[in-house]
């Protein structure tokens, strides 16, 4: 009897166990096959791979391939839907209306569900630039401007297929930002995202009435690149959200230029063999005088007054009709100001701006005064020229190009001796705001500007030809001196580095007398400057005299050069410069 009672009890236990086993198998299968579950995404694959490796050794090869595919997918999409960040949308989005077409760039990590309430969101796919791609690939120190070998080439930055997307009312993008890492502004991926957004706005954006201009909304803890998205076009900033309405004509010109200084913004040669690049269209556009001017700056000393007078006279000799604007401070005496005005400058009095990182009484203590150029908002464009430059050919055609256009210097930086800028009060205010934090590589304005305008456009070096001989070879000296002396001139301007011509006797370049200055010495370039000087009015020439102190310094340098046995022989030349005896 007890046996017959035990049998049903055992059967019942078996049935209950089977039910529980089936239930657990069902739950296990449910979790395994449910792709939208975050539990599956985050925890199940490692568990399944482990159990499969342990229990089914024969299929290891297949499992290894699956692991590779999973790792590849994770690399492509490191933040799947289950991990998207929920970020509060900017309040100004409510002002933009609904039923918009919104291009989405680099926003895979963001939850965009709230944005869909305002219209159709269109993900813009593009291939991320390789991590091996460096800034110096886009901004090399030297390029083959003369096309003596194969000509300059730029590497390609991958872009979306813009033709696959229709018109857009708004472009929204998340910008990479590695701040405060050193060199964070020279991040190629950061530039790529900026260029994708700018090209979308130009190629797929709406134009016409201001209400229908394509809006650009950027998410970034760093300020977006001022070279593409100007502070003048900033409608509002809210936390890390930046709302721009770009001036499309400016932006269109920007994205049409080479992607970096790896190619010239203005080529020297056309597509044919020995065919000079056709400048006629640009010259036609720039032949009409617009709100444009040439400018230079004098402050803290009168030592460059002669240079500024000669610069003005050289500009006028090229036939330009643009205004010549001179910014100067109270260190320039009234008689000197009057002479500068007679030379052709329109005088603007400024207050100097101190470089907070400069030592007191150093040469660069007040060189941030150059920022005042951006306050010349009565002009749309300014070509700034250092006062130790002489201009040999008309530069008006370079007003065609945008800020920041200049010639190359060392590494990936430009030389600020001649540059195209676009005055803007908010840009000036930005400079003043960040001057304490920006580290200038040379302690001066050139280093500062190169940290702000990292994306710039290269002019041929003939536009701002530096008087130096770094390689110290006879070939370099022969080639450069031929350019310095060419008539008609092949160079647009000569930039006199080292000791300046008016600081030397006119008989020869006094840079020869100093061992560490010989790299700047050229008698041909020196004579060229004096030809410009001699064509000036005699009264203006009188501003280029030598002080008694300077005469003593020149004689001392000549004496030391003779004692050192200087082989070039310049220190033994019989000086005939009449200024020596005045």
pLDDT in tens, 142-180: 998 887 777 778 899 999 999 999 999 999 999 999 999
Whether residue 5 is predicted with pLDDT greater than 90 in this model: the reply is no
Whether residue 379 is predicted with pLDDT greater than 90 in this model: the reply is yes
Residues 392, 464: contact at Cβ < 8 Å? no
Give me the pLDDT at residue 88, please.
Answer: 86
The residues with which 110 forms a beta bridge, in sequence order, are 85
The residues with which 562 forms a beta bridge, in sequence order, are none
Q: Phi-psi category of 237—alpha, beta or left, where left has phi over 0 and alpha has psi -120 to 50?
A: beta
Which tens digits make up the pLDDT trace of 384-399?
Answer: 999 999 999 999 999 9
**d(Cα 488, Cα 466) in Å, to the nearest integer?**
19
- Percent of the chain residues topping a pLDDT of 90: 72
Which tens digits make up the pLDDT trace of 72-118?
Answer: 333 344 444 445 567 888 999 988 888 999 999 999 988 888 888 89
pLDDT, mean of residues 176-193 = 95
Whether residue 263 is predicted with pLDDT greater than 90 in this model: the reply is yes
Residue carrying the six token digits 């060199």: 183
The residues with which 85 forms a beta bridge, in sequence order, are 110
**d(Cα 525, Cα 388) in Å, to the nearest integer?**
12
Whether residue 56 is predicted with pLDDT greater than 50 in this model: the reply is no
Q: What's the length of the chain? A: 582
Whether residue 235 is predicted with pLDDT greater than 80 in this model: the reply is yes
Give me the pLDDT at residue 478, please.
Answer: 95
Whether residue 220 is predicted with pLDDT greater than 80 in this model: the reply is yes
Give me the pLDDT at residue 72, please.
Answer: 35
Give me the pLDDT at residue 106, please.
Answer: 97
* Residues whose CB is less than 8 angstroms from the CB of residue 142 and which lie 6 or more positions away in sequence, other chains included: 408
**d(Cα 346, Cα 532) in Å, to the nearest integer?**
21
Domains and CATH numbers, the chain: 93-256 (3.40.50), 290-466 (3.90.550.10)
Q: What angle do CA 196, 424, 221 make, to 5 degrees?
A: 45
Quickly state the pLDDT bin for 208 (edges 50, 70, 90). Answer: low
Whether residue 37 is predicted with pLDDT greater than 90 in this model: the reply is no
Checking 22-29 for CB contacts under 8 A at 24+ apart, the result is: none
Give me the pLDDT at residue 434, please.
Answer: 96
Q: Taking the complete model, does pTM exceed 0.95, yes or no?
A: no
**d(Cα 69, Cα 449) in Å, to the nearest integer?**
46
Give me the pLDDT at residue 83, please.
Answer: 56
Residues 101, 168: contact at Cβ < 8 Å? yes
Q: What is the CA radius of gyration of the chain?
A: 33
- Nearest Cα residue to 343 out of 370, 369, 374, 317: 317
Per-residue tokens: 548: 């008694």
In the chain, how many H helices and how many E strands? 16, 16
Per-residue tokens: 345: 């400058």
* Residues whose CB is less than 8 angstroms from the CB of residue 510 and which lie 6 or more positions away in sequence, other chains included: 499, 503, 504, 554, 557, 570
pLDDT, mean of residues 26-34 = 51
Per-residue tokens: 126: 């593009």
**d(Cα 241, Cα 239) in Å, to the nearest integer?**
6
Say whether 258 sits in a helix, a strand or coil.
coil
CA distances from 311 to 62, 215, 341, 430, 518 (A): 75, 43, 12, 30, 24
Per-residue tokens: 523: 């008698």
- Nearest Cα residue to 40 out of 73, 75, 82, 77: 82
Residue carrying the six token digits 């200049």: 406
Strands 389-391 and 493-495, sheet pairing: antiparallel
Give me the pLDDT at residue 540, please.
Answer: 98
Per-residue tokens: 380: 């749309």
Which tens digits make up the pLDDT trace of 463-514?
Answer: 999 999 988 889 999 999 999 999 999 999 999 999 999 999 999 999 999 9
Which tens digits make up the pLDDT trace of 507-534?
Answer: 999 999 999 999 999 999 999 999 999 9
Which tens digits make up the pLDDT trace of 558-576?
Answer: 999 999 999 999 999 999 9
- Please tell me what DSSP assigns to residue 210: G
Quickly state the pLDDT bin for 317 (edges 50, 70, 90). Answer: very high
Per-residue tokens: 274: 């020995």
Average pLDDT, the chain: 86
Query: For the purposes of burial, counting CB atoms within 10 Å of the CB of 211, is it exposed (0-12), middle (13-18) or buried (19 or more)?
Result: exposed
Sheet holding 389-391, edge to edge: 389-391, 493-495, 465-466
Query: For the purposes of burial, counting CB atoms within 10 Å of the CB of 40, is it exposed (0-12), middle (13-18) or buried (19 or more)?
Result: middle
Residue carrying the six token digits 């643009």: 322
Residues 573, 507: contact at Cβ < 8 Å? yes
- Nearest Cα residue to 496 out of 310, 283, 232: 310
């Amino acid at each position: 009897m007890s046996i017959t009672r035990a049998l049903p009890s055992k059967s019942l236990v078996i049935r209950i166990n089977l039910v529980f086993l089936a239930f657990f198998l069902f739950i296990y299968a449910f979790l395994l096959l449910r792709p939208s579950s975050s539990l599956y995404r985050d925890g199940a694959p490692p568990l399944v791979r482990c159990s499969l490796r342990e229990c089914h050794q024969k299929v290891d090869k297949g499992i290894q391939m699956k692991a590779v595919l999973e790792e590849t997918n994770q690399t492509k999409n490191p933040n799947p839907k289950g991990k998207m960040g929920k970020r509060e949308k900017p309040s100004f989005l409510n002002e933009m209306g609904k039923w918009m077409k919104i291009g989405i760039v680099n926003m895979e990590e963001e939850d965009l569900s709230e944005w869909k309430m305002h219209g159709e969101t269109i993900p813009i796919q593009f291939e991320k630039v390789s991590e091996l791609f460096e800034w110096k690939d886009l901004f090399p120190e030297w390029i083959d401007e003369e096309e003596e070998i194969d000509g300059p080439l730029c590497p390609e930055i991958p872009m979306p297929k813009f033709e696959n997307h229709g018109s857009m009312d708004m472009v929204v993008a998340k910008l990479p930002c590695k701040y405060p890492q050193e060199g964070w502004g020279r991040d190629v991926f950061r530039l790529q995202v900026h260029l994708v957004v700018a090209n979308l706005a130009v190629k797929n954006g709406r134009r016409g009435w201001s209400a229908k201009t394509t809006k650009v909304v950027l998410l970034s803890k760093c300020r977006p690149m001022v070279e593409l998205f100007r502070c003048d076009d900033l409608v509002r900033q809210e936390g890390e959200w930046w709302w721009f309405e770009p001036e499309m004509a400016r932006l269109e010109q920007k994205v049409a230029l080479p992607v970096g200084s790896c190619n010239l913004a203005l080529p020297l040669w056309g597509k044919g063999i020995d065919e000079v690049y056709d400048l006629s269209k640009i010259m036609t556009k720039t032949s009409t005088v617009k709100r444009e001017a040439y400018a230079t700056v004098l402050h803290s000393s009168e030592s460059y007054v002669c240079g500024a007078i000669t610069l003005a006279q050289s500009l006028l000799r090229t036939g330009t009709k643009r205004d010549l604007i001179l910014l100067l401070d109270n260190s320039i005496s009234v008689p000197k100001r009057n002479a500068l005005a007679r030379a052709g400058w329109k005088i603007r009095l400024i207050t100097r701006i101190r470089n907070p990182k400069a030592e007191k009484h150093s040469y660069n203590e007040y060189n941030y005064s150059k920022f005042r150029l951006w306050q010349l908002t009565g002009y749309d464009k300014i070509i700034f020229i250092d006062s130790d430059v002489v201009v040999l050919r008309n530069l008006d055609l370079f007003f065609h190009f945008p800020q920041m256009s200049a010639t190359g210097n060392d590494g990936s930086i430009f030389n600020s001796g001649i540059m195209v800028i676009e005055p803007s009060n908010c840009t000036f205010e930005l400079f003043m705001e960040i001057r304490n934090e920006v580290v200038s590589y040379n302690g001066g304005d050139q280093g500062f500007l190169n940290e702000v305008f990292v994306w710039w456009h290269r002019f041929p070096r003939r536009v701002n030809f530096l008087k130096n001989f770094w390689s110290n070879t006879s070939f370099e000296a022969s080639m450069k001196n031929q350019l310095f002396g060419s008539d008609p001139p092949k160079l647009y301007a000569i930039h006199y580095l080292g000791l300046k011509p008016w600081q030397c006797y006119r008989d020869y370049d006094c840079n020869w007398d100093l061992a560490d200055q010989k790299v700047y010495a050229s008698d041909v370039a020196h004579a060229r400057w004096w030809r410009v000087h001699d064509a000036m009015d005699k009264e203006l020439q009188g501003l280029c005299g030598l002080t008694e102190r300077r005469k003593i310094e020149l004689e001392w340098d000549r004496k030391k050069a003779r004692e050192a046995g200087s082989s070039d022989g310049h220190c033994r030349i019989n000086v005939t410069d009449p200024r020596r005896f005045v």
